[in-house]
Structure 1
Amino acid sequence: MPILKEVVSMAMESWHVNEEVTLTWLDGGVTNMDGGAMFGVVPKPLWSKRYPVNDKNQIELRSDPILIQVDGMNLLIEAGIGNGKFSEKAIRNYGITSESKVDESLKKLNLTPEDIDAVLMTHMHFDHVSGLSRPEGDSFVSVFPNATIYVEEREWDEMREPNMRSKNTYFRENWEGIEAQVKPYKGQLEVVPDIRMIHTGGHSNGHAIIHINRGNANIWHMADLMPTHAHFPSLWVLAYDDYPVTSIMQKEKYIQGNLENSPYFIFYHDAKYRYIRFSQDGKSIEESLKRNRENE
Structure 2
Amino acid sequence: MEILQLQNTKLTWLRGGVNFLDGGAMFGVVPKPLWSKKYPCNDNNQIELRTDPILIQAYGKNILVESGLGIGKLTEKQKRNFGAIEESQVEKDLAELSLTSSDIDYILMTHLHFDHACGLTRLEGETYHSVFPNAQIIVSQIEWDEMRSPNIRSRNTYWKENWESIQEQVTAFEEEWSLGSIKMVHTGGHSDGHSIIIIEDEDDILIHMGDIMPTHAHQNVLWVLAYDDYPMDSIWAKEKWIHYGLENNAWFTFYHDAFYRAVKWDKEGQLTEKIKRIR
**TM score, norm. by length of structure 1:** 0.93
Residue 45 (structure 1) aligned with residue 33 (structure 2): yes
User: Could you say what secondary structure the match of 1:218 adopts?
Assistant: strand
Q: Which amino acid in 2 is paired with 1:65? A: P
What is the match of residue 228 of structure 1? 215
Matches of 1:258 and 1:140, distance apart in 2: 39
Determine if contact 2:207/2:245 at 8 Å carries over to the other structure: no
Instruction: Name 2:247's counterpart in structure 1.
Output: 260
The SS at the match of 2:91 is: helix
Alpha-carbon offset, residue 98 of structure 1: 0.2
| RMSD (Å), alpha carbons | 0.8
Q: Is residue 17 of structure 1 aligned with residue 3 of structure 2?
A: no
- Give the whole-Å Cα distance in 2 for the aligned partners of 1:263 and 1:15: 13
Match of 1:219 in 2: 206
- Pick from 81, 105, 124: which aligns with 1:117? 105
C-alpha distance after superposition, 1:20-41 (max 9, x if no partner)? 1100000000011110000000
Letter in 2 for 1:252: E
Match for residue 62 of structure 1? 50
Partner of 1:78: 66
| Alpha-carbon offset, residue 215 of structure 1 | 2.2
Give the match's secondary structure for 2:161: helix
In structure 2, C-alpha distance between the alignment counterparts of 1:47 and 1:242, rounded to whole Å = 21
Q: What is the CA–CA distance in structure 2 between the aligned matches of 1:88 and 1:75, rounded to whole Å?
A: 31
1:169 is matched with: 157
Task: Specify the code of the residue in structure 2 equivalent to 1:199.
Answer: H
The residue aligned with 1:9 is none
Q: Deviations over 1:73-106 (max 9, x none)?
A: 1000000010001101000000001000001110
Structure 1 residue 258: deviation in Å? Answer: 3.4
Q: CA offset at residue 136 of structure 1?
A: 1.0
After TM superposition, give the deviation of residue 176 of structure 1 in Å.
Answer: 1.0
| DSSP-derived class of the 1:274 partner | strand
Any conservation in 1 of the 2:6–2:201 contact (CA below 8 Å)?
A: no
Runs of 4+ with >4 A deviation = none
2: CA distance, partners of 1:215 / 1:245 = 32
Partner of 2:226: 239
Give the corresponding residue for 1:4.
none
1:133-163 Cα shifts (integer Å, max 9, x gaps): 0011111000000000000000000000000
SS at structure 2 position matched to 1:157:
helix
Quick check: 2:91–2:100 contact (8 Å CA) kept in 1? yes
Q: What amino acid maps onto 1:287 in structure 2?
A: E
1:3 aligns with: none
Aligned length in residues: 279
Identity among equivalent positions (%) equals 57
